[in-house]
């Protein structure tokens, strides 16, 4: 995947269309910062960074014909040796890979009985093929200030209001309203 920001926006947009309460996105520092901005601005309820783990199926351990030999081999290996050999560890019924990838779970926000999403639209502005940079004086106002633009600046990722206040320009990543 080349454009992780477009992927994040598409996942949120698709989750809003089916009125899903949660959406899982891959962890990057940029996606974590965007999630924090969305939470601070009131577009999502909250977010959580979790390690990606695979649940162990109930039929994962198959009994072999030579059960006694298998038991002897298991006794010889310690859990640490097994973990070093396979790269997997078993804890609380979950098969976890060492150095596994992290995921971010976004809890989306809706209002009303008909579950109208708080996020009306998301638009990617600066794309990998065409980067859009701006000075702090020319940062666009989204819907007259109702929406937000997210910028990548030399001092980190921030909203358009914060960038104008700090008098910093940067790359306009996306607009949300």
d(CA 16, CA 10): 10
| 148 or 56, which is more confident | 148
| Full 3-state SS string of 96-121 | EECCCCEEEEEEECEECCCCEECCCC
Angstrom distances, CA of residue 94 to CA of 12, 13, 51, 101, 129? 27, 30, 11, 15, 41
When pLDDT is averaged across residues 78-105 and rounded to a whole number, the result is: 56
Tokens of 94: 């979950």
Query: Can you tell me which residue has the tokens 């976004």?
Result: 106
Is 80 exceeded by the pLDDT of residue 77? Answer: no
Helix (H, G, I), strand (E, B), or coil: what is residue 167? coil
Size of the chain in residues: 177
User: In the numeric block, which tokens belong to residue 72?
Assistant: 């002897």
Average pLDDT for the chain = 83
Mean pLDDT, residues 168-173 taken together? 98
- What pLDDT is recorded for position 101? 81
Residue 66 scores a pLDDT above 60: no
Q: pLDDT digit string (tens) for 19-47?
A: 999 999 999 999 999 999 999 999 999 99
Q: The pTM is what?
A: 0.74
Q: Where are the domains of the chain?
A: 1-58+101-119, 120-176
Contact 126/173 with Cβ under 8 angstroms?
yes
The SS3 call for residue 142 is helix
Tell me, which fold does domain 1-58+101-119 have in CATH? Ribosomal Protein S8; Chain: A, domain 1 (3.30.1370)
3-class secondary structure, 155: coil
Using CA atoms in the order 177, 137, 35, 120, what is the torsion angle rounded to 10 degrees?
10
For 120-176, CATH number out of 3.30.1490.10, 3.90.950.20, 2.40.50.140, 1.10.490.20 equals: 3.30.1490.10
Q: Name the one residue in this structure whose structure tokens are 């959406």.
A: 23
CA-based radius of gyration for the chain: 23
């Amino acid at each position: 995947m080349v454009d992780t920001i477009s992927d994040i926006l598409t996942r949120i947009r698709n989750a809003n269309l089916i009125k899903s309460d949660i959406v899982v996105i891959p962890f990057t520092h940029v996606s974590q910062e965007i999630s924090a901005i969305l939470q601070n601005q009131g577009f999502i309820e909250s977010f959580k960074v979790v390690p990606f783990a695979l649940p162990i199926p109930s039929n994962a351990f198959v009994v072999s014909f030579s059960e006694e030999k298998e038991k002897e081999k298991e006794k010889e290996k310690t859990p640490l040796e097994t973990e070093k050999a396979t790269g997997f560890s078993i804890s609380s019924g979950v098969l976890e890979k060492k150095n596994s990838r992290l995921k971010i779970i976004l809890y989306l926000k809706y209002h009303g009985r008909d579950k109208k999403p708080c996020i009306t639209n998301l638009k990617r502005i600066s794309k990998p093929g065409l980067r859009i940079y701006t000075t702090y004086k020319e940062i666009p106002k989204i819907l007259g200030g109702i929406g937000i633009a997210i910028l990548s600046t030399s001092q980190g990722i921030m909203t358009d209001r914060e960038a104008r206040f700090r008098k910093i320009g940067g790359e306009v990543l996306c607009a949300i309203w």
